[in-house]
Amino acid sequence: MKKLNERGFSILELVLSFTLISILVMGMLGIVLNYRSTVKVSTRRIGLTEFKSTVTSTIQEDILKFGVSSINRCSNGAGGVKMTCVVFHFRNGTSKNLEYFNTAINNRYIQYGTRRFPIEEVIRTEYPSLSDATIHLPSDRNGITLETKSVGGSVVYKVHLPISADDFSEDFGILIVTTNNAVISPVIPY
């Protein structure tokens, strides 16, 4: 019988083994880091979409319940208008302001009527992957866009509050298009 080599691994074999294992580990690490980055971006997109949907649906519920009689810019008290605010006048005689506040980095929010949608709080509690530095509201000069167009005997209103983020090219803003002659949905008791 032949005697087996009992010397173990040579230095060259050990170096080659460690080199191959290192290459495999680095490749796997790259895949994991790329996956984590993709998940983070997807989570940001979902968070912004849900935020937009929550604010938009709150406004749309009032439009469907009460019907819009008109939408105008808010007054700044000095005879001018605030570019950061529009007021929804409803057919039942009530009105609600849609306004955003973008002055302090830790106190930015959208307010509709008495309901406040704080951007930082939403990010911190519900969507922690969204950094407050990545979300942008328009400057006070650009503000909320309000367009009106007469069509037949009705007026069509288009209200747009842009919200953007560094990671994405799309607009996650609030977009409401309605008319002063829309059919009001009946209130169904639960």
Q: For the segment 92-125, what is each residue's pLDDT rounded down to a tens digit?
A: 999 999 999 887 666 788 999 999 988 765 555 5
How many helices (H) and strands (E) the chain has is answered by 2, 10
pTM over 0.75: no
Q: For residues 2 and 133, which has the higher predicted lDDT (pLDDT)?
A: 2
Q: Where are the alpha helices (DSSP H) in 67-125?
A: 119-125
Residue 1's pLDDT is: 52
Q: Would you say residue 190 has pLDDT above 60?
A: no
Residue 69's pLDDT is: 93
Residue 39's pLDDT is: 80
Give the chain's largest Cα–Cα span.
108
Q: Would you say residue 161 has pLDDT above 70?
A: yes
